[in-house]
Amino acid sequence: MAYIDNKYLALDGFDTSDSVVCTFLMKTHEDYTKAAIEVAAESSVGTWVKVHSLTEDIFERLAARVIEISSEKNIIKIAYPSGLFEKASLPQMLSLVAGNIFGMKSVDSLRLLDIAFPESISSPYPGPAFGIEGFKKELGITASNDRPIIGTIVKPKMGLPPDKHAEVAYEAWYGGVDFVKDDEPQTDQDFCRFEDRLVKVLEKADLVKEETGRKVVYAANITAPLPKMERRAELVKEQGGNCMMIDVITTGFASLQYMRDLDLGLLIHAHRAMHAAITRVPDHGITMLVLAKWLRLAGVDSLHAGTVVGKMEGKYPEVKGIYDALRDPSWKQKRVLPVASGGLHPGSVPPIVDMFGYDVLINAGGGIHGHPKGTIAGARAMRAAVEAVIQKRDIWEYAETEDHKDLLIALEKFGVPKVSKED
């Protein structure tokens, strides 16, 4: 296509202080600079041919500019003047910087690697209502007794009736887990209606508090078309719940912003199911880093962010970058609690804490409910693993010295290697 106008190029400097700056990985069979111009034009004020109605004034105010081209690295940077964006609207922002350009014939592949916002764009977004500190406070965890939060997912993923679902939650909490969530596809099916499940699980949360004195969190999965989501969130509130879980990619950014703006005083736990359809292909799509930044602006309190050591893909540099963006203290918005989940078990606790510290929610589904002695033992093993890390002790040494049978069985079951002293 014949996009024209080198005026989209600003390679000799451009004031980006009031621009959203996007970094793209762009591969093309066309002239590299020309393709970069076409991406900038199509994602701001241009189209495939020059139109008479595009005045100089509009161009000066609103045209995106290519501020960096590195054809040998397949990297381009584009600055988008803030005037292009509606205040506090992620759907509009995504339609601009992550819209048509992915499908243009002039690029063979395009991946939005990173995004940086000027104050004028980011500050109208609410960010998390609770954040990391608020999430931990809900569980009675403060600076004086700081530690990672332990969570589980009720398993099997689908199928349990409400009373059995609640029983699994109770056993996990009783064994020492702080946080229990529904699985991502578990919403309001005939085998387990949402309201019935909610009431029964919250009764167990109250029972655990009576029996152990510990406050716990139940992330009820309210995922649904928006009116039902709103109704379910209100039910969580009415029933004394403290957290709603939303599958934020499948429900969409508009729904999430709406639910956050209700300001119900409930933790928002964000599951990212379907993200890998967008984030995984290395040359095309949008990175989880960019999704995480958008979700922090939107105001999730916790977000699945990868584990490096679990069953889902994601190498350390990329996953650490996501954790850093969620927990970056320089933002006006509160910090988001990253969630490590997927294929984890008690033996995963030391490497997760080594990589990411204590400001993390470590979720284990199969790693708890797959314990040979059942869910309570699995939860106790997870809790003991955290205790070993807090005491800076080797997990095997701790299990053996403390004669922690549940942890020993878990380490054997999940094949956790013993690290000999000289290692």
Q: What part of residues 180-209 is at the interface with Mg ion (CB under 5 A)? A: 183-184
SS3 state of residue 100: helix
CB of 164 to ligand CAP, least distance (A): 17
165, 200, 271, 371: which one is catalytic? 271
The answer to whether 241 and 198 are in contact (CB under 8 A) is yes
Known active-site residue 155:
yes
Distance (Å, rounded) from C-alpha 79 to C-alpha 85?
12
Q: Which residues contact 231 (CB under 8 A, 6 or more apart)?
A: none
Q: Report helix angle 316-327 to 288-298, nearest 10.
A: 20
| Residue 152: its H or E element | strand 149-153
User: Binding segment for ligand CAP among 63-71, 216-224, 328-336, 358-366 (CB under 6 A)?
Assistant: 358-366
* Residue 269 sits in the site that holds ligand CAP (CB under 6 A): no
| Residue 185: its H or E element | none
Among the listed residues 124, 144, 141, the one whose alpha carbon sits nearest the alpha carbon of residue 179? 141
User: Binding segment for ligand CAP among 30-38, 109-117, 159-167, 305-313 (CB under 6 A)?
Assistant: 305-313
Of positions 183, 301, 387, 406, contacts ligand CAP by CB under 6 A: 183
Known active-site residue 7:
no
Q: Which residues contact 352 (CB under 8 A, 6 or more apart)?
A: 148, 307, 309, 340, 344, 360, 362
155, 200, 304, 413: which one is catalytic? 155
CB of 46 to ligand CAP, least distance (A): 37
Of positions 28, 43, 251, 341, contacts ligand CAP by CB under 6 A: 341
Q: What part of residues 209-248 is at the interface with Mg ion (CB under 5 A)? A: none
Tokens 């066309």 label which residue? Answer: 30
* Residue 304 sits in the site that holds ligand CAP (CB under 6 A): yes
Q: Which does 81 bind (CB under 5 to 8 A by kind): Mg ion, ligand CAP, none?
A: none
Of positions 180, 217, 309, 344, contacts ligand CAP by CB under 6 A: 344
List b or e across 178-216, with b for residues whose CB sees 16 or more CB atoms inside 10 angstroms.
Answer: bbbbbbbebbbeeebebeebbebbbebbeebeeeeeeeb
CB of 365 to Mg ion, least distance (A): 7
Pick the closer one to ligand CAP by CB: 110 or 362: 362
Q: Which does 197 bind (CB under 5 to 8 A by kind): Mg ion, ligand CAP, none?
A: none
Among the listed residues 397, 377, 346, the one whose alpha carbon sits nearest the alpha carbon of residue 148? 346
CB of 183 to Mg ion, least distance (A): 4
Residues in touch with ligand CAP (CB under 6 A): 153, 155, 157, 183-184, 272, 304, 306, 311-312, 341-344, 364-367
Residues in touch with Mg ion (CB under 5 A): 183-184
Q: Catalytic positions, please?
A: 155, 271
